[in-house]
A and B are shown apart, each in its own frame.
Chain A
Amino acid sequence: MSENWLLKNGRIIDPVNSVDQQKDLLIIGGRLAAAGTPVPENVQTVDASGCWIVPGLIDMHVHLREPGEEYKEDIVSGTMAAAAGGFTGVACMPNTSPVNDCHAVTSFILEQAEKGFARVYPVGAISKSSKGESLAEFGEMKDAGVVAVSDDGRPVLNSQLMRRALEYASDYNLAVISHSEEISLAQNGVMNEGMVSTRLGLRGIPAVAESIMVYREIALSEYTGKPVHIAHVSTAMSADLIRSAKSRGVRVTAETTPHYFTLTEEAVEGYDTNAKMNPPLRSEIDRQAILSGLADGTFDAVATDHAPHSSLEKEVEFDLAANGIIGLETAVSLTLALVRDGIISEQRFVELLSVNPARILGVPGGALSDGAAADVTVIHPEMEFEYTSESVVSKSRNSPFLGWKFRGRSVMTLVDGKVMFNILP
């Protein structure tokens, strides 16, 4: 297939290059062509009228389940879901089986990714087997291709180990991503602690279980001077802590997810296991605080925490159900709703889903610069569709958004100028 494309009449939104205007985008040989470059003969033309053309979206927090749990998702199916959702790159968390805590697992993931539909940026473990006891080999994993380290899925409970991880990771320019959870407070909780957990008789996880650990990470970052990234922020208090840390110059960055700014603990009503995740869906006050943080820059990124599970893990008693939901195919639509509601601008949309994830992870992309690899996402902000079980591209179906009618979606995804997904005529 030709890697020469002409996307006509779209609105190009490229904050890094201060571009927001209607014009054509030319891709030659998989690279973005400079303005004024003559259009070659063998070019495929796409009419992108009414669409946004943005730098390829990057989801900095997904679980691809390979190696080990390929019945839930694998690298090919997960990246196919990513492309369908408008993502040209995904950072995959290391809690596979085995854990990605060494160069061999990292290399395997990257080898599998060659057959995939989006760039894969492996995240290595902070500690060996993510057990929280001793540091994994950051240097070798970096050589093999990891872009960050995290024990995501569980917190690094030992504060000394976390301090050393921040320090040692900086030798290799690796982002350190914190799953912030004080386990002794979270206990065996299965949803947010509050009115709804009491009504449903489910064990609660208090908001402070997250916020206390967010504060520890900020304190360690401030003390060591090393950066830290806070994953999947869900509480108002965490947002406040991050905002105030940033204002005094602490090198903290943070992501939140579409489910925390869209849903609340009320979604658990009826014991819906597709509303079970960790951290849990919080109160309306928390949701509002997350929205404020997205608007004012407290949050750098929107990530999905795409966590596929099969019916084996979800069609069970709520207490026994696995944590997590899929999110790659709904993130763009849910975040577009914030633009429509006037909470964030179009530029901020691109920053949250492309510019900042690329910057935090230190990976290419985030801009439509002349000569750069043509990782491009085309979004139709008005196209309506219903998200149904049949339409899901991921191997798993664990989404609380099944049956939702959405307005706006990704319609074309190009990686290196190759079309990975396209529903444009």
Chain B
Amino acid sequence: MTAGYHFSQKHILGINHLSPEDINFILTTAESFKEISTRKIKKVPTLRGHTIVNLFFEPSTRTRLSFEIAAKRMSADTFNISAATSSATKGETLVDTARNISAMNPDIIIIRHAFSGAAVMLTRYIDAAVINAGDGTHEHPSQGLLDMMTVREHKGRLDGLKIAIIGDILHSRVAHSNILGFTRMGSQVFVYGPATLLPKGLDHLGAKICSSLEEAVKEADVVMALRIQKERQNDPLFPSLREYAQKYGVTRDVVGLARPDAIVMHPGPINRGVELMSDVADGPRSVILEQVTNGVAVRMALLYLVMGNS
């Protein structure tokens, strides 16, 4: 840690806003919090009296539960608003919803939204700290951080690694956060997927675009498969899930190209047999459930750190 370093982020909107020092500090804080979740009494009083609102405009099981568990283990009061029960269904604008919630003086608003930029937009209208829990196809910073934490635990470092990310980069906020995060920490990110799912200008984010699965995965330290979103059928992105699984799916043979100690990751939820085969997902290289465990620790750290700055 650099001398005189001070974590100064009020909001967590994206990995793009975080410096390498910030990322290191968040991960180190998360590592120290991880133990709390293994205690018999999984609760510390750190955020007692703080109000945290989970504002979820998009369905989510894992991320929402993870944030809620993180908040409760820190003794914060948490409130959940989901799209189905919110005023959005009555035609209220996001700005009005935010202003109304803000009028009840929450300390942190955690937002998940289908549109990119929704979290950034909230910060213009409210005083509370905002944590982006995934906005459109922009960023999912807490996922990027928990992925980095998991890699650091296994590899002991975040620099000089080869990270292979396979699949739908175009629609993946997780991929965007990870490309920004791992490259910022000194690793190289190799991406591969159908050309239709690799967005323009990806190289400007720092990723190396590969022309074959082999090129991407060979000697990799980490192999990450991304979820194919079956609901995107209006745009002819690839012919069929069957062909996708054959040509782009992460199989045992594919993982065999990576380093012998490579780990396999997936942000979930998995389409088993499409982007990731079951024997790999459940195999010895898979750290998918560790990612979920670390998610709670990372989110505890984020809540703690943004509160320390308010």
Interface membership of B107, Cβ < 8 A: no
Taking a contact as CB atoms under 8 Å apart, the answer to whether B116 and A194 are in contact is: no
Pick the interface stretch among B194-202, B273-281, B296-304: B194-202
Taking a contact as CB atoms under 8 Å apart, the answer to whether B118 and A317 are in contact is: yes
Taking a contact as CB atoms under 8 Å apart, the answer to whether B204 and A202 are in contact is: no
Interface membership of A196, Cβ < 8 A: yes
Taking a contact as CB atoms under 8 Å apart, the answer to whether A270 and B116 are in contact is: no
Nearest chain B CB to A71's CB is how many angstroms away?
16
Interface membership of B221, Cβ < 8 A: no
Interface membership of A248, Cβ < 8 A: no
Cα A317 to Cα B136 with chains together (Å): 11
Out of B93, B121, B137, name the residue touching A201 (CB < 8 Å). Answer: B137
- Scoring B residues 137 to 152 as 1 if CB is less than 8 Å from chain A, else 0, what string do you get? 1110000000000000
Taking a contact as CB atoms under 8 Å apart, the answer to whether A201 and B135 are in contact is: yes
Interface membership of B235, Cβ < 8 A: yes
Whether A320 touches B115, Cβ cut-off 8 Å, given contacts A201-B135, A201-B136, A271-B120, is: yes
Interface membership of B81, Cβ < 8 A: no
Interface membership of B84, Cβ < 8 A: no
Cα A201 to Cα B177 with chains together (Å): 11
Cα A187 to Cα B196 with chains together (Å): 14
Cα A271 to Cα B125 with chains together (Å): 14
Whether A198 touches B201, Cβ cut-off 8 Å, given contacts A187-B235, A318-B115, A318-B116, is: yes
Counting chain A CB atoms within 10 Å of each CB, the highest count among B116, B135, B173 belongs to B116
Taking a contact as CB atoms under 8 Å apart, the answer to whether B117 and A197 are in contact is: no
Kindly list chain B residues whose C-beta atoms are within 8 Å of the C-beta of A315.
93, 95
Cα A206 to Cα B200 with chains together (Å): 10
Taking a contact as CB atoms under 8 Å apart, the answer to whether A199 and B16 are in contact is: yes
Q: List residues of A (282-339) whose CB comes within 8 Å of B's CBs.
A: 315-320
Taking a contact as CB atoms under 8 Å apart, the answer to whether A202 and B117 are in contact is: yes
Taking a contact as CB atoms under 8 Å apart, the answer to whether B95 and A197 are in contact is: no
Nearest chain B CB to A33's CB is how many angstroms away?
55
Taking a contact as CB atoms under 8 Å apart, the answer to whether A317 and B201 are in contact is: no
Interface membership of B205, Cβ < 8 A: yes
Cα A7 to Cα B199 with chains together (Å): 57
Interface membership of B113, Cβ < 8 A: yes
Nearest chain A CB to B144's CB is how many angstroms away?
13
Kindly list chain A residues whose C-beta atoms are within 8 Å of the C-beta of B95.
315-316
Taking a contact as CB atoms under 8 Å apart, the answer to whether A201 and B120 are in contact is: no
Taking a contact as CB atoms under 8 Å apart, the answer to whether A319 and B199 are in contact is: no
Kindly list chain A residues whose C-beta atoms are within 8 Å of the C-beta of B126.
none
Nearest chain B CB to A208's CB is how many angstroms away?
12
Interface membership of B94, Cβ < 8 A: yes
Taking a contact as CB atoms under 8 Å apart, the answer to whether A316 and B93 are in contact is: yes
Interface membership of A195, Cβ < 8 A: yes
Cα A277 to Cα B171 with chains together (Å): 23
Whether A194 touches B113, Cβ cut-off 8 Å, given contacts A271-B121, A317-B94, A317-B118, is: no
Cα A271 to Cα B173 with chains together (Å): 16
Interface membership of B176, Cβ < 8 A: yes
Whether A198 touches B205, Cβ cut-off 8 Å, given contacts A193-B200, A271-B121, A319-B116, is: yes
* A contact residues, range: 20 to 34
Nearest chain B CB to A330's CB is how many angstroms away?
23
Nearest chain A CB to B254's CB is how many angstroms away?
26
Kindly list chain B residues whose C-beta atoms are within 8 Å of the C-beta of A196.
201
Cα A203 to Cα B135 with chains together (Å): 13
Kindly list chain B residues whose C-beta atoms are within 8 Å of the C-beta of A195.
200-201, 204
- Scoring B residues 199 to 218 as 1 if CB is less than 8 Å from chain A, else 0, what string do you get? 11110110000000000000
Taking a contact as CB atoms under 8 Å apart, the answer to whether B138 and A200 are in contact is: yes
Whether A201 touches B176, Cβ cut-off 8 Å, given contacts A315-B95, A317-B118, is: yes
Taking a contact as CB atoms under 8 Å apart, the answer to whether B116 and A200 are in contact is: yes
Interface membership of A279, Cβ < 8 A: no
Kindly list chain A residues whose C-beta atoms are within 8 Å of the C-beta of B138.
200-202
Taking a contact as CB atoms under 8 Å apart, the answer to whether A201 and B235 are in contact is: no
Interface membership of A30, Cβ < 8 A: no
Out of B94, B120, B202, B235, name the residue touching A198 (CB < 8 Å). Answer: B202
Cα A320 to Cα B115 with chains together (Å): 9
Taking a contact as CB atoms under 8 Å apart, the answer to whether B115 and A319 are in contact is: yes
Interface membership of A204, Cβ < 8 A: yes
Taking a contact as CB atoms under 8 Å apart, the answer to whether A197 and B94 are in contact is: no
Nearest chain B CB to A156's CB is how many angstroms away?
23
Kindly list chain A residues whose C-beta atoms are within 8 Å of the C-beta of B176.
198-199, 201
Out of B117, B199, B235, name the residue touching A317 (CB < 8 Å). Answer: B117
Kindly list chain B residues whose C-beta atoms are within 8 Å of the C-beta of A194.
200-201
Taking a contact as CB atoms under 8 Å apart, the answer to whether B201 and A199 are in contact is: yes
Nearest chain-A residue to B204 (Cβ)? Answer: A195
Q: List residues of B (147-202) whose CB comes within 8 Å of A's CBs.
A: 173, 176, 199-202
Taking a contact as CB atoms under 8 Å apart, the answer to whether A200 and B93 are in contact is: no
Nearest chain-A residue to B171 (Cβ)? Answer: A201
Cα A79 to Cα B139 with chains together (Å): 43
Nearest chain-B residue to A193 (Cβ)? Answer: B200
- Scoring A residues 176 to 218 as 1 if CB is less than 8 Å from chain B, else 0, what string do you get? 0000000000010000011111111111101000000000000
Cα A199 to Cα B137 with chains together (Å): 9
Kindly list chain B residues whose C-beta atoms are within 8 Å of the C-beta of A320.
115
Cα A316 to Cα B200 with chains together (Å): 26
Nearest chain B CB to A209's CB is how many angstroms away?
13
Nearest chain A CB to B205's CB is how many angstroms away?
6
Taking a contact as CB atoms under 8 Å apart, the answer to whether A319 and B200 are in contact is: no
Whether A271 touches B117, Cβ cut-off 8 Å, given contacts A194-B201, A196-B201, A197-B199, is: yes
Query: Could you write out 15 A-B pairs with CB less than 8 Å apart?
Result: A194-B201, A198-B202, A199-B16, A201-B173, A202-B138, A203-B137, A270-B120, A271-B116, A316-B95, A317-B121, A318-B115, A318-B116, A318-B121, A319-B115, A319-B117
Question: 11 additional contacts, CB 8 Å, given A201-B117, A318-B121?
Answer: A195-B200, A197-B201, A198-B202, A199-B16, A199-B205, A201-B138, A201-B176, A204-B200, A315-B95, A317-B113, A319-B117
Residues of A in contact with B (beta carbons under 8 Å apart): 187, 193-204, 206, 270-271, 315-320
